[in-house]
Structure 1
């Protein structure tokens, strides 16, 4: 009989979307995997597959005292105390086919308006081609403004209804269904709940956090923004797509 180890803990999350009904979870995961595996072909045909998310509350922290000189064979010593100079939010667009970070959007807020403006700036770089975005189900990713923007960009003249009352704009579910429509030139594919690991941009966020944000000292928000944009520019020079090997959930019993 195995011993019980109550001092050892592993986190576990019961997600209702994975069990009730299970088809919902499997369909979403498999759709995203298909989008990723087809990204290179889409890119060759002129389209774009973009993984998008927000990195919020990035702090402009100034180390109160300089780091100690690096000693070979020893860990670097970074000053513990710091001075806060505010925060910034990054809306990032990771191109799945190329591995590049395109048109990063930096602002003090992360609102419905910010998200639409960020999407608009990206699409304006290639306004006539297909765009597929992979993102989570945050409310600003299913907003009235986003629906109106996509409808306008796709030349759709149908009645959108009224927010909170009727039609496509009635609620988040109806808006998400519209934004996810396969026939639209601009569409969004949503990850299941609690599945940030399905969004490739989360890998990129980990890279910038380890290589830049954890180590740098910033005296202002402006200095932080400039540092992030410089990192993106340098990263893109050598960018390569992530190798997505996961093929999805088996639907056989």
Structure 2
């Protein structure tokens, strides 16, 4: 079981001046302006049981790149295993080319999250880790440098992967949702 999604429009940008380092009592001080160098898209699959990530970087974000990512998953996951993918309803996941590939590879089973429920897909939590611990802190001067940094971070993550664990039961989540809906006037309509 893998949680799959894409993080598109990851920007490679360099600050217009050198980032001033942290010192006792003084936070790190980046400049507000920057120079854009392009973008990349990361397709990622988070193995729910172990936390290991399979990633693939592409310069575009289309069904063609999604299909290439599926091929990578097919090559990296042992052939005797069925592959269950949790993913959102993005159009690239449902194109005729994607559907044809999936029909030809019957071991792949797709499970779509409901619209507006991206929080159910645990790879989104991993994307937040990547953003907070690598992308936001980096200052790559090119798309190639950005992609190198992302690949290195994935490799580092996979040396000691951590599975995402729900801290609430399904009943607790549903109870909280019901309480929230009850607090909204006319929510029963």
Q: Check if 1:203 corresponds to 2:128.
A: no
For residues 34-49 of structure 1, what are the structure 2 equivalents within 5 Å?
A: 49=1
Q: Check if 1:248 corresponds to 2:166.
A: no
Secondary structure at the counterpart of residue 36 of structure 2: strand
Q: Give the root-mean-square deviation of aligned CA atoms.
A: 1.7
Shift of 1:247: 3.7
Q: Is the 8 A contact 2:46 2:52 kept in 1?
A: yes
Q: Distance in 2 between matches of 1:120 and 1:127?
A: 12
Q: Is the 8 A contact 2:5 2:88 kept in 1?
A: yes
For residues 108-123 of structure 1, what are the structure 2 equivalents within 5 Å?
A: 108-123=59-74
Q: For residues 87-114 of structure 1, what are the alpha-carbon distances to aligned partners after superposition, in whole Å with 9 as ceiling and x for unaligned?
A: 0111111111110111x11111111111
**Structure 1 partner of 2:155:** 233
Structure showing greater Rg: 1
For residues 164-203 of structure 1, what are the structure 2 equivalents within 5 Å?
A: 185-203=107-125
Shift of 1:74: 2.6
Shift of 1:73: 2.8
Q: Which runs of 5+ in 2 are unaligned?
A: 179-189
Give the total of aligned pairs: 173
**Structure 1 partner of 2:136:** 214
- How high is the TM-score relative to the length of structure 2? 0.86
Shift of 1:248: 3.0
Shift of 1:58: 0.4
Shift of 1:127: 2.5
Q: Is the 8 A contact 2:21 2:27 kept in 1?
A: no
Q: Which runs of 5+ in 1 are unaligned?
A: 1-48, 155-184
Q: For residues 40-95 of structure 1, what are the alpha-carbon distances to aligned partners after superposition, in whole Å with 9 as ceiling and x for unaligned?
A: xxxxxxxxx11011101000001111111311133211122111100011111111
Shift of 1:145: 1.4
Secondary structure at the counterpart of residue 124 of structure 1: helix
